[in-house]
Amino acid sequence: MKPFYDRHGITIYHGDARKIAPGLGLIDFIFTDPPFGHNNGNGDLIAASQKWRGKCKTKVWRTIKNDGPEANDLAQWLFAYAADSLHSSCCCCCCGGGGPDPQFARWSLWMDERMEFKQMVVWDKGKIGLGWHYRRSYETVLVAQKGKGKTRWFDRTNRVENIIRPGDYGIKKIIPQAHDHPTPKPVALAAHFIKLHTRKGDLVLDPFLGGGSSAVAAKQLGRRFIGIELEKRWCQLAVARLEATPVVKQA
């Protein structure tokens, strides 16, 4: 399949990850942020908060694809694919925070069925959470490896915890603007995990690319990268952000 974008070791495909990823060969590391199945933009708290804060000028809720019950099928596909295609290291999968549908609970079990579940990292996003009772102030990143001891680990400080506190590693929560992807992840969050688990020149995959934060992180760090995204508008946003990111040598 012809890529949507292919420059400086960064490749983006526009299409369905389930069709494209199996043809890519072996991958060193996956960092991804699939739809959580929260119907974002369908009146849920994230969309509502964008409107209340006047941060989102659009009149209609902005939906993301496959963000209903089908998100669970995508997650199960992802973990099976990761088990087959990871050559080394692990898969780090963003998985939302608290609320009435704690998908991190079942997704970690599904990960463990296909690979070996390693950690749930909690990203404490700071004080302003969503909701009234038990305001939602955190998100999770699930980490699974292909087998015991298979995670590559390049941190030398011995200080990396399974909680990311506000301001750690320069990670700041994002309140998306109307021109942004509706659920952007900070570039610094993707960069944190890419630095922990890969070296320059390694191949990183994000099969649910969105607006391209993981692609920008990989380019800044000199990693090779493949991203896949179903919606053309988010591929275009990712390309614009990549073109504004300086090239770093990959070896």
Ligand X SMILES: C[S@@+](CC[C@H](N)C(=O)[O-])C[C@H]1O[C@@H](n2cnc3c(N)ncnc32)[C@H](O)[C@@H]1O
Q: Which residues bind ligand X (CB under 6 A)?
A: 16-18, 33-35, 64-66, 74, 181, 183-185, 207-208, 210-211, 213, 228-231, 234
Q: Which is nearer to ligand X, 96 or 222 (CB)?
A: 96
Going by their DSSP bridges, the two strands 10-14 and 224-229 should be labelled as parallel
- Per DSSP, 147 falls in state S
Ranked by CB distance to ligand X, the top (closest) residue is 210
Q: Tell me the closest approach of the beta carbon of residue 230 to ligand X, in angstroms.
A: 4
Q: Which is nearer to ligand X, 14 or 224 (CB)?
A: 14
Q: Which is nearer to ligand X, 9 or 34 (CB)?
A: 34
Contact 187, 217 (CB under 8 A): yes
Query: What does the block give as tokens for 80?
Result: 């099976």
Q: Which is nearer to ligand X, 28 or 67 (CB)?
A: 67
Q: Tell me the closest approach of the beta carbon of residue 149 to ligand X, in angstroms.
A: 29
Going by their DSSP bridges, the two strands 90-94 and 29-32 should be labelled as parallel
Q: Which is nearer to ligand X, 44 or 231 (CB)?
A: 231
Helix (H) or strand (E) segment spanning residue 29: strand 29-32
Q: Tell me the closest approach of the beta carbon of residue 155 to ligand X, in angstroms.
A: 23
Q: Tell me the closest approach of the beta carbon of residue 97 to ligand X, in angstroms.
A: 13
Q: Report the residue count for the chain.
A: 251
How many CA atoms lie less than 13 Å away from 142 in the CB half-sphere?
25
Helix (H) or strand (E) segment spanning residue 76: helix 70-85
